[in-house]
């Protein structure tokens, strides 16, 4: 039986700001319980809903030295869907309305959390073979483990994995402050360890000291070894390439299931989608005040409205796209210029464009379950989950070939009749527009071909089972 502890800054259902929480909360459920005992540790934020806090049981508390301070560490636990979750409590660090705040506060908060996570282990009656760290917030776990804990036999031989969910966020602050916060000695702050470009870098520390490094798709694992995607750490990632691997995220196939989805007006499956799915489209057209026409191609977008997601491309050709026989439904919030751009086009092309500048779980499911195609032209995308949901709902993804999008969407080939979506290579607005128009042509002129693309999309399997198998292989390799 291998024992594995996930350490992360968020996990569903307790606290979520992004895809990281889905991975940490969902993935552990998909391992064989006979072979792997996987537990999860996150901070006990004050902003976790009371209903969850009421279910947590006190385990222990102690005081821990963090450099020159002595800090209270409380440990609570609860079981959820068969997985044991631990919560590290300290109201000084984990108060506040959201899990993350000012970076200078977060730098100290997550230094505390990383050290507390390791310090709590002896009192839990749980000695993991592997500690699996997620993103920069836990980057110091492998560093601390290498440092002050090595004299204690309990900690010797524990292996670590560092998973990069998005390389853009690294936990960077000045060396002097980080030295003072962590109590690590000066030898750690050199260019081959935590120091990068004059500052201290938590994620870098994690990558240097972890026994294995993973990221959330195979293509992204290759891309981040290059300067364009490497966010200044490409040299280090090339140096560690023999222990770097990409494992694509999954989605929860019970939660995202067109056959049982409670948010859809009409449920459907891979067999009856030709008749049933279109009823969702007309229901959504009515709800959003679009022209009701079951034959009109509807393209969905559910996203943060930011540059990373390719909205500068869309802005560039939006007026031209709106001349086509299509409807566009957008859901999301983000940069003001993109929010206003979509509002403007919804006003200019009433009946064709619907701008929903907010976030709603229900509306996102309706878009996946109603649209014919889904547009996702990202500049970079470590994994991406929206395209996996689209495939699941038979909504054909139109994506740029980067990161996880390239790994999960197989481009349509009309000569071989293969593929689960449409893709373009260069980050270029007209290349994107040509791909959208190619998809329109297939949709309108070769409906049977389009339906076959939907068949293949709905047959693709990106459930967590697949990801869990690959993580299990890595754990076996690491724990030997």
174 pLDDT higher than 90: yes
CB–CB of 64/8 below 8 Å?
A: no
DSSP E strand stretches across 273-424: 297-302, 326-331, 353-356, 373-376, 396-400, 422-424
CATH 3.40.50.2000 domain span(s) along the chain: 2-250+465-479, 273-461
At residue 18, the pLDDT reads 82
CB–CB of 340/267 below 8 Å?
A: no
Report the pLDDT averaged over residues 108-122. Answer: 98
CB–CB of 375/314 below 8 Å?
A: yes
At residue 166, the pLDDT reads 93
pLDDT band at 179 (very low <50, low <70, confident <90, very high): very high
At residue 32, the pLDDT reads 96
106 alpha-carbon distance from chain centroid: 20
CA distance 367 to 390: 9
At residue 19, the pLDDT reads 83
Report the pLDDT averaged over residues 396-417. Answer: 97
372 pLDDT higher than 90: yes
pLDDT band at 194 (very low <50, low <70, confident <90, very high): very high
At residue 79, the pLDDT reads 98
CB–CB of 433/317 below 8 Å?
A: yes
Q: What is the pLDDT of residues 213-257, one digit of tens each?
A: 999 999 999 999 999 999 999 999 999 999 999 999 999 898 899
At residue 246, the pLDDT reads 97
At residue 480, the pLDDT reads 81
At residue 365, the pLDDT reads 97
What fold characterizes domain 273-461?
Rossmann fold (3.40.50)
SS3 76: strand
CB–CB of 1/105 below 8 Å?
A: no
Question: Which residues lie closer than 8 Å to 435 by C-beta, 6 or more apart?
Answer: 398, 422, 423, 424
pLDDT band at 94 (very low <50, low <70, confident <90, very high): very high
At residue 158, the pLDDT reads 97
pLDDT band at 17 (very low <50, low <70, confident <90, very high): confident
* C-alpha dist (Å) from residue 418 to 115, 198, 409, 457: 50, 50, 11, 10
Residue labelled with tokens 């449920």? 267
Query: What CATH number labels 2-250+465-479?
Result: 3.40.50.2000
Q: What is the pLDDT of residues 19-63, one digit of tens each?
A: 899 899 999 999 999 999 999 999 999 999 999 999 999 999 999
SS3 172: strand
Token couple for 247: 């494992």
Report the pLDDT averaged over residues 401-419. Answer: 97
Residue 394 region by backbone torsions, left for phi larger than 0, else alpha for psi between -120 and 50, else beta: left
Report the pLDDT averaged over residues 321-341. Answer: 97
* C-alpha dist (Å) from residue 218 to 114, 115, 214, 312: 27, 31, 9, 26
Q: What is the pLDDT of residues 250-308, one digit of tens each?
A: 998 988 999 999 999 999 999 999 999 999 999 999 999 999 999 999 999 999 999 99
Report the pLDDT averaged over residues 345-352. Answer: 97
Q: Please, what sign has the CA dihedral across residues 10, 13, 18, 22?
A: positive
CA dihedral 444, 311, 10, 105 (to 10 degrees): 180
At residue 396, the pLDDT reads 98
31 alpha-carbon distance from chain centroid: 19
At residue 202, the pLDDT reads 98
Report the pLDDT averaged over residues 127-145. Answer: 98
At residue 148, the pLDDT reads 85
At residue 183, the pLDDT reads 95
Q: What is the pLDDT of residues 456-480, one digit of tens each?
A: 999 999 999 999 999 999 999 999 8
SS3 245: strand
């Amino acid at each position: 039986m291998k024992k594995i502890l996930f350490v992360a800054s968020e996990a569903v259902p307790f606290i979520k700001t992004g895809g990281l929480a889905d991975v940490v909360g969902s993935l552990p459920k998909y391992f064989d319980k006979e072979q792997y005992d996987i537990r999860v540790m996150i901070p006990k934020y004050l902003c976790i809903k009371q209903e969850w806090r009421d279910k947590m049981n006190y385990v222990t508390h102690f005081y821990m030295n963090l450099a020159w301070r002595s800090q209270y560490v409380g440990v609570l636990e609860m079981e959820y869907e068969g997985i044991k979750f631990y919560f590290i409590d300290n109201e000084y660090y984990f108060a506040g309305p959201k899990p993350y705040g000012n970076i200078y506060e977060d730098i100290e908060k997550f230094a505390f959390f990383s050290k507390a996570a390791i310090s709590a282990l002896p009192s839990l009656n749980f000695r993991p073979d592997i500690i699996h760290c997620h993103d920069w917030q836990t980057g110091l776990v492998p560093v601390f483990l290498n440092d002050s804990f090595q004299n204690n036999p309990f900690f010797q031989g524990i292996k670590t994995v560092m998973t990069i969910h998005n390389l853009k966020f690294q936990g960077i602050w000045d060396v002097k402050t980080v030295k003072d916060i962590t109590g690590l000695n000066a030898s750690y702050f050199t260019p081959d360890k935590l120091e990068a470009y004059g500052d201290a870098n938590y994620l870098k520390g994690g990558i240097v000291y972890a026994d294995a490094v993973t990221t959330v798709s195979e293509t992204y694992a290759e891309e981040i070894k290059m300067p364009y995607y490497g966010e200044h750490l490409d040299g280090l990632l090339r140096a560690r390439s023999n222990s770097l691997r990409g494992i694509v995220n999954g989605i929860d196939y019970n939660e995202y299931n067109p056959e049982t989805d409670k948010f859809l007006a009409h449920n459907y499956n891979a067999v009856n989608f030709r008749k049933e799915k279109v009823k969702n489209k007309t229901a959504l057209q009515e709800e959003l005040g679009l022209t009701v026409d079951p034959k009109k191609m509807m393209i969905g977008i559910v996203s943060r409205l930011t540059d990373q997601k390719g909205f500068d491309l869309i802005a560039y050709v939006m007026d031209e796209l709106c001349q086509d026989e299509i409807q566009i439904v957008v859901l999301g919030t983000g940069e003001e210029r993109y929010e206003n751009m979509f509002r403007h086009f919804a006003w200019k092309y009433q009946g064709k464009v619907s701008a929903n500048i907010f976030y709603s779980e229900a509306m996102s499911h309706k878009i996946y379950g109603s649209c014919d195609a889904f547009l996702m032209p990202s500049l970079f995308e470590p994994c991406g989950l929206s395209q996996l949901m689209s495939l699941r709902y038979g909504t054909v993804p139109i994506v740029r070939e980067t990161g996880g999008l390239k790994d999960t969407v197989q481009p349509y080939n009309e000569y071989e009749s293969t593929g689960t979506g449409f893709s373009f290579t260069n980050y270029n607005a007209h290349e994107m527009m040509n791909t959208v128009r190619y998809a329109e042509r297939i949709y309108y002129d070769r409906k049977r071909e389009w339906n076959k693309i939907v068949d293949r999309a709905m047959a693709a399997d990106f459930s967590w089972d697949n990801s869990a198998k690959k993580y299990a292989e890595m754990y076996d390799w690491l724990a030997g």
